[in-house]
Structure 1
Amino acid sequence: MSRVRWSYACAKQLIERLVYAEGAENGLEFTIVRSFNWIGPRMDFIPGIDGPSEGVPRVLACFSNNLLRGEPLKLVDGDQSQRTFVYIKDAIEVVLLMIENPARANGHIFNVGNPNNEVIVRQLAEMMTQVYSKVSGEAPLEKPIIDVSSKEFYGEGYDDSDKRIPDMTIINRQLGWNPKTSLWDLLESTLTYQHRTYAEAVKKVIAKPMAS
C-alpha cells in the first residue's frame, strides 16, 4: 500500500462486521445505519464560537465558517471529490421508519443519503457562495474560492476517497424510502440558520483585538 488508510473508516468497517457476525452466530437483532453527510441546522461546530478554535469541521460547516467570516472558501487539492448530502429531516424520517417497522429493518445495513444531491466539492463551494449571498444580503467576495494543498490544510499524511455515493437499493426495497429535499433547498435552510445564529457572534470575534 502506497497510501495510509484512515483508522476512522477501518474502525467503522470493523464494528459493522462484528455486529453482523453476532447476529449470524448468536441471533442479535440489529439494524445498521450508514449516514452519508446528514446536513441541517446545528450540524457541526463553528470554530471559536461553539467549538474549539483549532480543528477542522466537516466540509459544509467548514465552508459555512469561511462564509460567516467573509473569507474565501478553501478547496483542498482542487477538490474534484464527489459527495452527496441529505437533509436531516429526510434522514430522521427514515430512521423513524426503521423503528416503526422492525420486521423490515432487522438484520439489514442501510445507506441513508441522497444520491440525487451528488455534487463535486468545487461545485458545492460555488453553490454555497450563491446561497449565502442570497440569505445574508452580502455580495460575494471578488475571489470567493482559493486552492490550497492538502499538506497546507491538513498536514502530512492526508488521505481521502474520491467518491462517496450511497447505493439505495436495500433501503428502497425494505422501506420504500427516498429522500425529498434538493441540495439547493437544504443549503438555503442550513445557511439561513447559520447566518441568523452565528453572524453577529463571528463579527464580535473578528473585531476583538488580538492579545499581545
Structure 2
Amino acid sequence: MCSDKYFDEDHSNLIVGPVNKPRWIYSVSKQLLDRVIWAYGEKEGLQFTLFRPFNWMGPRLDNLNAARIGSSRAITQLILNLVEGSPIKLIDGGKQKRCFTDIRDGIEALYRIIENAGNRCDGEIINIGNPENEASIEELGEMLLASFEKHPLRHYFPRLRAFVLSKVAATMAKDIRT
C-alpha cells in the first residue's frame, strides 16, 4: 500500500485501517488534527501544545450507564460486567496491552504543561501515560475479578458467568483489507 516500509500497513505496528470504518475514524481524526496543528505551527507560527491522555483511570471518569451503551473505558466496562454478572468479552483473547494512568498523575502532568516552565512545552505533542503500569485486558479483568470477589458486598451481586474469548480483532484486520 505504501512504498515507505515504516508506514506500510502490512509491516508497520501502526494499523489505522480505512477511515470509512467507525472503529478507525476516531484515531485517524485525532492524528490528522495533530498534523494540521503541527503544520500551522511550522508554517504560520501558531503557538501550540498538544497533549494525549492515555488510559486514565480513577473516580468519575465515566459511569456504568456509559458502559451499557459501549461508551466507556475498559475498566468501567469490566466493572459493569462484574456488577451485572454478564460475561466479560475479551477481544482476541484480551492479549492487547494498555498502560494505565492514575487520574491524579494525569492532572499533575496537565498542571505542569499549563505552567509551561521555560516554555518547554511550546510546539510539543505530549503523551500523558504511565508505561510502568502496563497490563493486558485479560490481566486487568483478572485483577478486577480478584478484588471484586474479596469485597464485603460481593454477595449482593450475581455470579460472573464467564470470560468469553473472541477472535473479532484477528478477523477484522483481514476484513478491512478486502
The residue number in structure 2 matching 1:41 is: 59
- Provide Cα deviations, 1:104-149, integer angstroms capped at 9, x if missing partner: 1111111100101111111111011112223454269475422234
Would you say the 8 A contact 1:72–1:141 is kept in 2?
Answer: no
- TM-score for both structures, normalised by structure 1: 0.62
TM-score normalized by the length of structure 2: 0.73
2:128 equivalent in structure 1: 112
Residue number in structure 2 paired with 1:128: 144
* Number of positions where the alignment pairs a residue of Structure 1 with one of Structure 2: 151
CA distance in 2, matches of 1:84, 1:66: 21
1:11-38 CA-partner distances (Å, limit 9, x unpaired): 1111001111111112111111011111
Say if 2:69 is the partner of 1:54.
yes
Deviates further, 78-87 or 101-110: 101-110
Q: Percent identity?
A: 36
Equivalent residue for 1:16? 34
2:89 alignment counterpart: 74
- CA, structure 1 residues 53+70, in 2 after alignment: closer, same or farther (shift >3 Å)? closer
* Structure 1 unaligned regions, length at least 5: 152-156, 160-212
- Is contact 2:67–2:80 with CA below 8 Å preserved after alignment? no
CA distance in 2, matches of 1:142, 1:17: 44
Unaligned runs of 5+ in 2: 2-9, 19-23, 174-178
User: Is the alpha carbon distance of 1:147 and 1:136 closer, same or farther for their aligned partners in structure 2, counting shifts above 3 Å?
Assistant: farther
Q: Using the alignment, how far apart are the partners of 2:68 and 2:160 within structure 1?
A: 26
Aligned-residue CA RMSD (Å): 2.6
